[in-house]
Amino acid sequence: MHPSGPEIGKYLYNVCEQFHILDKIQLDTNVTSARWLETEEEWELVLEYMAPGMGDLSSRERKAIAESQGIDKVCLKREMIRAKIVVSAVGGLVEPKPYPQVPGLDRFKGDILHTARWDPTIKLQDKNVVILGAGCSAAQVTPEIIQPPYNAKSVTQLLRSPGWVESNFGSEIVRWWESNTPTLFSWVPGLQWIVRKALFAYLELQFQLTFTMGATARKHRLKQQKALIAYMHKMVPEKYWEILTPDYDIGCKRRVIDADWFRSLQNPKIELTSLPLTSIQEQTVTLGPGRHYPPMSKTDSKVSTAERTIPCDTLIFANGYEAGEWLHPLDVKGRDGRSLHDVWESRGGSQAYLGTAMDGFPNFFLIFGPNTATGHSSVILASENMVNHSLKFIKPILNGEVSTYEVKEEAERKWTQRVQEALRDSVWQKGGCRSWYFNEGSGWNATVYPWSQIHFTLRCMFPRYGDWEAKYTKKGVIKRRLMTAAKLLGTLAVMTAVVYLAMYGPEAVVGELRAVLRSGLNRLRSWL
Ligand SMILES: Cc1cc2nc3c(=O)[nH]c(=O)nc-3n(C[C@H](O)[C@H](O)[C@H](O)COP(=O)(O)OP(=O)(O)OC[C@H]3O[C@@H](n4cnc5c(N)ncnc54)[C@H](O)[C@@H]3O)c2cc1C
Ligand SMILES: NC(=O)c1ccc[n+]([C@@H]2O[C@H](COP(=O)([O-])OP(=O)(O)OC[C@H]3O[C@@H](n4cnc5c(N)ncnc54)[C@H](OP(=O)(O)O)[C@@H]3O)[C@@H](O)[C@H]2O)c1
């Protein structure tokens, strides 16, 4: 249920091996720009072959190295290539957020790392660790690093605001699942399929009950919140209850799935605090005065605000990702040299028809594009839907029947309008939280899909070709004419049969058919 990083890596490698695509993948290569060439009807891409180790850094870090030590330290070679079709699968949670600007960060003598760029070789044995953040990543890292092989001496976790924390079935069930289901699934045919579909159905129901704004969902959210507060009270020491009680609706911000975080808070080696990180020294950090949560305006709060300085050997930032800007920092220029980011800015924010296509950007497909993330189901499933949907347009291009496919502007704008309208009336926007899902200033949410995954699956399964502009090749035109003729002939044949049936009755039709068949067989025999 919770595969490790190396296990996921091995799985991905095996899939590539199974489908014989290992030699089609080029690693350590950064695509910096893509430009549509109108006359050639092709994309021109600039590739950067990265120096060893550079692929593990964020683009911000690579840029800083290039500026201070020269581009050769980052990029070994540049190449321009042409492509008829571009499919962007650059992910949404790739670029780590920069470290917060805390005075003294540059003076710090210990190790600093970001959860998005986890270094498995990092030595934490007997180290005092400070981890900033209380989202999903921090909740996974905190309980792990006090255990072997890491064995940190202490962990101080800094919380800015609490998430709603859900139990993941309980550690007993997870342990049982992890040790038994591989055997069960291999012995009982179809069981894995049934379990996966049942889980999907359950999560779809939870979507309706958690994220919509109807009276049933509101009631259900209150019930869920009560249960989660009870769970939190059962699992963590009382001193943390106040800072772990959210002041917004469940579902508003990404829920934290509790593998072992809450239980680990009982360990005296771990301290959770909402004191802000105010300064950093060579081997210490200063927390406070003041507090992030509950807000200082809550005057009856018992949560400490007193400044203190604690030892720190390692700083771990679990402060999340640059999630607001899609395709950042890839520079994409479509028809008439229009930049994708400029088009998005002029239309209010990042957007794409079904999260997959933009008008003015022919033969360009996005996988996991704007408004396709799901907080209740699997992103992989949504991505597979986008892949299948895109393939319906890619195949005719590869077959040489269509030279360009492009979504119509009207369809793109209408889709985006519907998405943003639906989001305005959802718990993500109305739940009273701050989250990486939406831009606080403009209220634009370019992250989540507002409807169920059944809805998305169906939309991707049955494309609306009327929303697309196709430029057919000669081969495509001939194929279309032949298909239209075949359809016409088929309709004509059916209509003739119906008229004949009405005029002469079924016996005459059967007799006629028999005669046609007999004469056909006789002719065949005479040929043989
Ligand atoms: C810690 C974490 C845990 C998650 N857990 C779950 C989960 O349990 N379930 C779930 O459904 N989702 C989860 N997600 C969401 C997750 O982002 C997606 O499920 C999944 O990784 C998306 O796959 P992807 O291939 O679209 O993007 P990614 O896996 O992010 O891959 C994008 C790739 O594109 C590369 N790239 C980016 N820009 C360029 C460029 N300009 N040139 C060349 N290459 C580029 C990146 O280096 C990366 O290799 C999690 C995300 C994080 C960060
Ligand atoms: N399947 C999984 O179990 C799993 C695991 C990991 C990640 N993920 C996915 O990845 C996404 C990102 O998770 P994440 O935990 O890396 O990031 P995140 O959800 O954005 O959480 C970042 C944390 O850092 C805090 N923070 C950010 N900037 C800060 C600052 N300047 N000072 C103090 N605190 C600051 C945030 O506080 P605020 O909340 O107050 O902003 C939050 O607690 C998740 O939402 C989820 O979709 C999934």
Which atom in ligand 1 lies closest to the alpha carbon of residue 378? 11
The pLDDT value given to residue 59:
86
The percent of the chain in helix, strand and coil, each rounded to the nearest 5, is 45, 20, 40
Site to probe by mutation for ligand 1, drawn from 2, 61, 95, 379 as the one with most ligand atoms within 8 Å of Cβ, is: 379
pLDDT of 169 > 80? The answer is no
Closest to 408 in 3D by CA, of 349, 471, 458, 453: 471
Please list every protein residue whose CB sits less than 6 Å from any atom of ligand 1.
30-31, 89-94, 137, 330, 367-368, 378-380, 383
**Cα 342 to ligand 1 centre (Å):** 24
Site to probe by mutation for ligand 1, drawn from 58, 90, 436 as the one with most ligand atoms within 8 Å of Cβ, is: 90
Domains 5-95+323-472 and 105-317 share a fold: yes
- Is 0.85 topped by the overall pTM? yes
Q: Which residues of 266-279 are buried (b: 16+ CB within 10 A; e: fewer)?
A: eeeebbbbbbbbbe
Domain spans in the chain, listed from the N-terminal domain onward: 5-95+323-472, 105-317, 483-528
The pLDDT value given to residue 527:
83
Give Dmax (Cα) for the chain: 105
pLDDT of 189 > 80? The answer is yes
What percentage of the chain exceeds 70 in pLDDT?
100
Q: With the C-alpha atoms ordered 377, 383, 386, 391, is the resulting torsion angle positive or negative?
A: negative
**Cα 59 to ligand 1 centre (Å):** 15
The contacts of residue 262 (CB under 8 Å, 6+ apart) are: 165, 167, 231, 232, 235, 236
Length in residues, the chain: 528
pLDDT of 368 > 90? The answer is yes
Instruction: Work out the angle at residue 405's Cα, subtended by the Cα atoms of residues 401 and 406, and round it to the nearest 5 degrees.
Output: 165
Is residue 153 within 8 Å of 127, Cβ to Cβ?
yes
Ligand closest in space to the Cα of 135: 2
The pLDDT value given to residue 223:
96
pLDDT of 449 > 80? The answer is yes
Nearest CA to ligand 2 atom 25: 133
Instruction: Please give the single-letter amino acid code of residue 520.
Output: G
Pick the CATH number of 5-95+323-472 from 3.50.50.60, 3.30.470.10, 3.40.50.970, 3.40.800.10: 3.50.50.60
- Phi, psi (rounded to 5 degrees) for 510: -65, -45
Omega of the bond prior to 295 within 30 degrees of 0, cis?
no
Is residue 314 within 8 Å of 410, Cβ to Cβ?
no
**Cα 93 to ligand 1 centre (Å):** 6
pLDDT of 503 > 80? The answer is yes
**Cα 146 to ligand 2 centre (Å):** 20
Q: pLDDT-derived band of residue 44, with 50, 70 and 90 as boundaries?
A: very high
Q: Say how far residue 373 (Cα) sits from the centre of its chain.
A: 5
User: What is the per-residue pLDDT across 404-414, written as a single tens digit (0 to 9) for each?
Assistant: 999 999 999 99
The pLDDT value given to residue 172:
80
Closest to 448 in 3D by CA, of 319, 317, 255, 258: 255
Mean pLDDT of the chain: 94
Is residue 336 within 8 Å of 362, Cβ to Cβ?
no
Please list every protein residue whose CB sits less than 6 Å from any atom of ligand 2.
93, 100, 115, 132-138, 140, 160-161, 254, 257, 318-321, 436
Per CATH, the number for 105-317 is: 3.50.50.60
User: What is the per-residue pLDDT across 296-342, written as a single tens digit (0 to 9) for each?
Assistant: 999 999 999 999 999 999 999 999 998 877 887 789 999 999 999 99
**Mean pLDDT value across residues 376-388:** 94
Site to probe by mutation for ligand 1, drawn from 93, 97, 371, 456 as the one with most ligand atoms within 8 Å of Cβ, is: 93
